[in-house]
Every structure is written in structure tokens, then in C-alpha cells.
Amino acid sequence: MLCVILNSISSFGQEVKHTIGFVPASICFNKNFSYSHGISYHVQFNKNFIFAGMEGTLFNYLDGNRRNNDNSKLIPLLNESRFLYGREIVNKEKTRHVNQLKAQVGYHYFQHGTDQFYDYWHIDSIPSNGVKGISGFQTHSASLGIYWSTTRYKKDDVDKENPKARFVFEFNYLLGLGIHLKGFNEYAGYQESTPIKNTYGMHRNGMRFSFQNTFFLSNRLNLFIQYDLLVPPYIKYEADPKMYLLRGGESILPFFQSLKLGMHFSF
């Protein structure tokens, strides 16, 4: 689908700029630390743009919920995927910098696992003194937001062709469209994956905030450091007091913070 859109853009002879992003190192925190990697693609044509990106953990030892966990194969890996279409609505040039404001709309997907060290996620009992529990979540959301950037140039760069640095603030409101639950059965020392019917309510409101500081090595290559705060739509869930003993630290905490280092290459 993306290829069809790009071919259509090119056929109209519009000026097109492509940017590929890589995130080799990212640290995500939610009760524990996960280490992830990411890739993104951004295409700009006139005042419009399309963005597609994905980031997540690749191996068990990188994911905080799967690391050192005997049930790691039942817990989904951390993953965030986004697809956005946007349009520039403000572009103000000054002597040494350019300010831009863009509106964007799209789709947001988020997947993460639960920490099985606690029995907080146990939701039912099964034969042979076993338990049924939730092992992870998959959230699908509509995304609506704004993108603000300030790009700085050298004083003698009249044509503004060689940027020095860029600061980006991005805020997106997330409207939860649906949540799928992953689950497990555990009995007599044996664990197996099982579907979990979502009978819970849903907190449909979420948000994603991002700040990025970019340093240009050339007009094609740059390095960046970025901070993200994600509050995804979530289930309305309280553990059954008959199934668990509260020991502290076991409540739902749907706040995911990440700090990442990456690079962009434009052509």
C-alpha cells in the first residue's frame, strides 16, 4: 500500500524527500527495564508526509518481562508500531531558524507482556490445582496529534540548506479501538498458552509524548536522542482478592518511558 502511494506521488512530479531512521539502542522502563531496537521510514512531499515506524525487543534477555522467567515463551515481546499521515499547517522562517507545526492522524499498535513473578494477573483456577492468567496485551488505537519542530541554521546559511540542530515536540492522543489478551494455563509444573476472552471494560483514552534533539552531521545524516512517554489505552481490571495476596508493586502501571539513541539518513 505504501509503494502504491509513493508511486502516485512521483507520478505528479512532486518534490519528495525520503528519510530512514535507525534506533540501535533504546531503554524502556515499566517496573523493569527492556532494551529495544527500531526502524522508521518518513517521506515528505510538499506540505504532506507519511511516517511508518516499528520498535521492540528482539530476544528474551532484552525484554524485562521475559528475562530470567521460566515462562518466557508465553509472554509476548515488547513492540510498538505506528503509521501516520500528516500535513504542515505553519511554517515560519526567521534569520537563524525555522518553526514548523504539523497535524497528524494514523494508527498505533502496542504489545507488552506481564511480569509473571507476581500472581496479580491470575484470573481463574483450573483443574489439578492450576491457574489461568494473563500473559500480555495487544492494543489497537487511532492516533491524532501535533508535531512541532524548530530547526536551527548557521547565520551565514541564507538559503537554509545545511541545518545545525533540530528540536521536536510531538503529542498524540490515542483512542483505544480494541484490546486482545494473551494468556496461559499453569498446572502440575506445566505451562501452556491459551486465549483469554476480554470481558473487562476499557480505558479508551491514552497519549504519547515525545521530545527529540537532533544534531546534523550533514544535510543528509544526523544523530538524535529522544525521550518518549506512552500511556496506552488499557483494560479496567482489578485482581480477584480470592486469587492473590497483595504484597505491593503489583497494581497496573500503564506508563512506559523510553530513552533512545538513533540516526536519520535522508535522500
Residue 8's nearest CA partner among 53, 43, 41, 51 is: 43
Query: Measured between alpha carbons, how far is 30 from 250 in angstroms, rounded to an integer?
Result: 12
In a domain, 174, yes or no: yes
- In this prediction, residue 3 has a pLDDT band, given cuts at 50, 70 and 90, of low
In a domain, 218, yes or no: yes
- 25 three-class SS: strand
Length of the chain in residues, anyone?
A: 267
The yes-or-no verdict on residue 122 having pLDDT over 90 is: no
Domain containing 211 equals 88-266
Query: Measured between alpha carbons, how far is 159 from 185 in angstroms, rounded to an integer?
Result: 64
Q: What is the pTM of this model?
A: 0.88
pLDDT of residue 119: 65
pLDDT, mean of residues 110-119: 77
CA atoms within 13 A on the CB side of 43: 16
Q: What confidence tens digit (pLDDT) does each residue in 232-259 have? A: 999 886 666 665 555 554 566 789 999 9
CB-based burial label for 246 (10 Å; 0-12, 13-18, 19+): exposed
Distance separating the N- and C-terminal Cα atoms of the chain = 21
pLDDT, mean of residues 182-198: 84
Q: What mean pLDDT is reported for the chain?
A: 87
In a domain, 80, yes or no: no
Which amino acid is located at 68 in the chain?
N
In a domain, 14, yes or no: no
DSSP 8-class letter at 76: P
Which amino acid is located at 91 in the chain?
N
In a domain, 197, yes or no: yes
Residue 41 CB partners (closer than 8 Å, separation 6+): 2, 18, 19, 20, 21, 51, 52, 53
In a domain, 74, yes or no: no
In a domain, 219, yes or no: yes
pLDDT of residue 14: 65
Q: What confidence tens digit (pLDDT) does each residue in 137-161 have? A: 999 999 999 999 999 998 777 777 8
In a domain, 75, yes or no: no
Residue 89's nearest CA partner among 99, 98, 101 is: 101
Give the chain's domain count: 1
Query: Measured between alpha carbons, how far is 102 from 91 in angstroms, rounded to an integer?
Result: 9
